[in-house]
Amino acid sequence: MTSSEPGLTRELPPLALYVHVPWCLRKCPYCDFNSHAAGRNPPFDRYVDRLLADLDRELERLSDSRRLASIFIGGGTPSLLPGGLVQRLLDGVRARIALDEAVEITLEANPGTTDAAHFARYGEAGVNRLSIGVQSLSAIQLNRLGRIHDPQQARDTVALARRAGFRNLNLDMMFALPDQGLAEAATDLEALIDLGPDHISYYQLTLEPHTGFHADPPSLPESDLAADMAEQGAERLETAGFGRYEVSAYAQPGKRCRHNLNYWEFGDYLGIGAGAHGKISRRSSKGLAIRRNEKISDPRCYVDEAPDAMLASERELSDADRIFEFALNAFRLTQGFPRASFAQRTGIDWSRCAALMDEAVGKGLVELDSDRVRPTPRGCAFLDDLIALFTPVTE
C-alpha cells in the first residue's frame, strides 16, 4: 500500500500556526534565520495587517475545520512589537480560526528589547509561553556572539517575565562557543539553571552558510570537546530535573513545547510572515496529499506586494520527500515515535521504509520493536549519519 491508496490515514494531524517577525535591532553573526536590522520606523502596523491577510489566504485553501493547537511568534525579535500590535494580531487570529482550549501561544523575546509593560500586554493578549534568547551568561561570550544584551539584562528579563505572571518559560543557551572550555560551558549552564526556567533549549553553535561567522570563522572548540560539552550538559540538566525529549530540548514535567513537538511529530502548520514555511495535509481521492509552501522573504516586499505575490513557492511532497522529512524530524525525539505514526502522518505504508529502518538498526543507530522506533544513544550522537540513510537519491 502506498500514499496513493486510501485508508492509511483516518484523521489529519494537529494544526499549528507559525508567525514570523523578521526584524532585529542588529543581525547576529551566527544567525541564518530570515532576520533584518529594523532601522528607523519599521512598518509594524502594516506588517500585522499583512499577516492577517496572509492568514485569510491560507485559511481559504484549508479544506478542513481543525482548531489551532499552538501558535508560535518567532523571528527575528518579536518582542520588538508593541503589546497592542500583538493583541491585534492574536485577536485577528481568534476571529478567523478556532483555538484549542489549552492552546499554547509562544512569543520569542530577547533581553534588551522588552520591559515589564511589554510582558504584561503580551500576557493580556493571550501569550502564555515566552522563549527568551539568553544564549550565554558570560559577558565575554555575549560580546563575541554580537548580542546586544549583557548577563544582568538577561537575568532582569527573566525576573520581569516571572513578575508579569508567565509560568511557562524557555531559555535558549548555546555551547561550543568561541574559545570556550569544558569548565566554562559548565559554569554558563549552571548559571542558566539557577534562573529557574521551565524549559531549556541547549544547542551547539554551528557555522551556517551566509552568516558573518561563516565568512569570518571564530575559533571554535574541536568536535571531541564539543561532544564532551553536549554530554556534560545533558547529564547536568537531567540531574536538575529537565527531561531530555529532543536532541536539544529539555523540559520540567508538563512543560514540553507543544508547538515544536508538532514539528518533530510531522504535524501540520500554517506559516505566515516574511519567509515563513507551512506544511498542510489534506485528504484526497488518492489518499493523503501533503503540500509545503514558503512566503517571500524580503519584509518590505512582503508588506508592499500584491496579496497574490506573498507566496514564493509551493510544492507537493513526493513519497521520497515524505519519508525523508518524517525521519528528519521524528528521529530528533529521544523516545522516537510509535511505528503506526509513520503511516498516519505520511500516508505511506511501513513496508516502504522497512529496508531503510533495518539498515539503521544494523548500524546501531536505531532500536526497533513491534510498537516503537527509537534512536539509540549512538543515533542521537550521530544524527546526521542516521538522517543520511533516508535522504532521497537524486539521479
User: Which tens digit of pLDDT belongs to each residue from 159-171?
Assistant: 999 999 999 999 9
pLDDT band at 150 (very low <50, low <70, confident <90, very high): very high
Q: How sure is the predictor about 10, in pLDDT bands with cuts at 50, 70 and 90?
A: low
What sign does the dihedral 309-272-113-95 (CA atoms) show?
positive
For the chain, the residue count is 395
Pick from 154-168, 300-314, 346-360: least confident: 300-314
- Looking at the chain, the domain(s) classified CATH 1.10.10.10 span 319-324+333-395
Question: Can you give the pLDDT at residue 75?
Answer: 95
What is the CATH number that goes with domain 15-261? 3.20.20.70
Query: Cell triple for residue 86?
Result: 500583538
Average pLDDT score over the chain:
94
By CB atoms closer than 10 A (0-12, 13-18, 19+), residue 348 is buried
Q: How far apart are CA 138 and CA 151, in angstroms?
A: 6
What percentage of the chain exceeds 70 in pLDDT?
Answer: 97
Q: Return d(Cα 381, Cα 305) in angstroms, integer.
A: 44
Please give the Cα distance from 298 to 362 (Å, whole number).
45
Q: Which regions of the chain carry the CATH code 3.20.20.70? A: 15-261
Q: By the 8 A CB rule, do 328 and 264 touch?
A: no
Tell me, what's the pLDDT at 1? 35
Comparison of pLDDT for 114 and 362, the residue scoring more: 362
CATH class of 319-324+333-395: mainly alpha
Whole-number pLDDT of residue 394? 55
Three-state DSSP class for residue 70: strand
Exposure string over 265-291, b if 16+ CB within 10 A, otherwise e: bbbbbbbbbbbbbbbbbebeeebbbbe
**pLDDT tens-digit profile of 183-232?**
999 999 999 999 999 999 999 999 999 999 999 999 999 999 999 999 99
Q: Which residue has the cell 542558566?
A: 192
Q: What is the pLDDT of residue 115?
A: 80
Binned at pLDDT 50, 70 and 90, residue 393 comes out as low
Helices 223-239 and 182-193: crossing angle, nearest 10°?
Answer: 30
Where residue 113 falls among pLDDT bands split at 50, 70, 90? confident
Confidence of residue 3 (pLDDT cuts 50, 70, 90): very low
> pTM of the prediction?
0.95
